[in-house]
Structure 1
Amino acid sequence: MYDPTVFENVKVAFENHVYDLDNIERKINIINRTDRMDFSIIKRDFSIEFVLSDKPAVSAEIIIEASLEELAAEILETPGKNPGCTLQLKFQKDVMDVPSECKNIELALKQIWEGDITIMQHVSFEYGHLEQNYVNTTFLRFQQKINEDNISEIEDFLASVIESLELLHHI
């Protein structure tokens, strides 16, 4: 009988919670979803991107990944290994005053996301439109792996994502 991997269980739990926020609670609108198996490096990844229903200017994307090492350790039941997935958040919004707004974005996200995370921001623009808005893409990478033990924390996690979207909307 097929036994789902940690990745599959975590992915389904995230999907269920996010789709409830979209279809039942109507707090968000899902705008993209990806579920991939990368055969060149044997990696699974899943992402789901959404915006607040009433404030679509800022998007959030939840990304979970499982590497070959994680998948193999689980399937082969390697002793001493604790298989899990990496978790990353990506926020995207337009900015005009890059130094000020990027600093405010980092400060706001650090208020919400305590713990062992890395925040990285990328700023870009469309060539020929330099005088218009820049696009800020902010990545939050969580250092600790997640697994089925974290499924009960997804609801609180998503509440923090929504709080982040609200704060970023006002920056």
Structure 2
Amino acid sequence: MVLRSSLQAIAAEILETPGSHPGCGLELRFAWATKEPERRCHDVQAVMQENWPDQRIVQHIHYLFGEAPVSFNVSASVYFDRQVNEEQMQDIPVLCDHMLHVLNKLFMMHE
């Protein structure tokens, strides 16, 4: 789970700027190694879209240039389109439970 905030939002939070609505961006990131990135990435994309259909999902495939890849490091990120602030803190445990559910699905796919 990655939380990102701009310097402007942090300053608004610290200074308690009237009329500001500081928050941060939320990204959920899953990573694994695979020998079959093309097949696995399609399966992962389906799971991610099933669980977060309205969010932007991005996958990255990494390997060392100049070496014959034995396996590929893959990451899948879910980017939420709304800012998270103190009002959503009660949602974090539910989100963590949902992430564990998805992680279990991904684990079962890679066995």
Structure 2 residue 25 is matched with structure 1 residue 86: yes
- Distance, in Å, in 2 between the alignment partners of 1:77 and 1:102 is 43
Higher relative contact order (CA 8 A, sep 6+): 2
- Distance, in Å, in 2 between the alignment partners of 1:94 and 1:71 is 35
Structure 2 residue 83 is matched with structure 1 residue 145: yes
Identity of aligned residues (%): 26
- Distance, in Å, in 2 between the alignment partners of 1:161 and 1:129 is 33
Residue in structure 2 matched with residue 121 of structure 1 by the alignment: 59
Unaligned runs of 5+ in 1: 1-61
Higher helix proportion (structure 1 or 2): 2
Higher strand proportion (structure 1 or 2): 1
Q: 1:98 aligns with which of 34, 37, 52?
A: 37
Question: 1:93 offset after TM fit, Å?
Answer: 0.7
Cα RMSD between the aligned structures? 1.6
Amino acid in structure 1 at the alignment position of 2:24: C
Matches within 5 A, 1:70-81: 70-81=9-20
Residue in structure 1 matched with residue 93 of structure 2 by the alignment: 155
SS state at 2:77 partner = strand
- Distance, in Å, in 1 between the alignment partners of 2:40 and 2:92 is 29
Question: 1:114 offset after TM fit, Å?
Answer: 3.7
Report the count of equivalent residues.
Answer: 108
- Normalised to the residue count of structure 1, the TM-score between the two structures is 0.58
Q: 1:164 aligns with which of 98, 102, 107?
A: 102
Amino acid in structure 1 at the alignment position of 2:82: Q
Question: 1:109 offset after TM fit, Å?
Answer: 1.0
Q: What's the CA shift string for 1:36-76, capped at 9, x where partnerless?
A: xxxxxxxxxxxxxxxxxxxxxxxxxx111221110122233
Structure 2 residue 3 is matched with structure 1 residue 64: yes
